[in-house]
Amino acid sequence: MMRETLVAALLSAVLLGCTTNTARQSSPGMSTRVAEVPPALADNASGRDSLEPLIAYYAAKHNIPESLLHRVVTRESRYRPKARNGPYWGLMQIRHDTARTMGYRGSASGLLDPATNMEYAGRYLRGAWLLANGSEKRAVRLYASGYYYVAKRRGMLCETGLRRCRDKD
């Protein structure tokens, strides 16, 4: 147990300095259309119906299925933007250190904003989706449990956003 805690702490420290530089890969059935979401909607969104446009926007932006984003939001918070559970924040229950890995530079409480939460947790979910090879069930499992070692083993740390990598010319 102590060893697992130490490994988790070290992994968090390593991931803390990473930023996103994910490759955009198209998946079957994915929409490439990105809708604009009015800022007022993002600020006041709560509940499935009011979050629908925001979810559609971030699914398209991160090139992941809307149904996958809905699955994660349902599982993690039941569409409650202000949900808190220990170190987990907001709609998608992302940890502050994980959001920082994905490029977030704000406070932990900033992750309670639905748009901010879906921006950075969506980036993380995109990595899980890439590793899941099109399986939503596997993507949800990877999102919930963490996927650093899976990405490392497959040589996909850059593609998943877990490591900052230089673009190849």
Q: What is the reported pLDDT for 47? A: 82
Average pLDDT, the chain: 81
Q: What is the spatial distance between Cα 169 and Cα 167, in angstroms, rounded to a whole number?
A: 6
Provide, rounded to the nearest whole percent, the portion of the chain with pLDDT above 70. 71
Q: What is the reported pLDDT for 46? A: 66
Task: Read off the pTM.
Answer: 0.74
User: pLDDT digit string (tens) for 73-85?
Assistant: 999 999 999 999 9
Over range 116-128, report the average pLDDT.
98
- Domain coordinates in residue numbering, the chain: 31-154
Angle CA(46)–CA(101)–CA(43) in degrees, nearest 5? 20
Which among 53, 69, 2, 60 is positioned nearest to 29, based on CA atoms? 60
Q: Look at the domain 31-154 and name its fold.
A: Lysozyme (1.10.530)
Tokens of 17: 């300095």
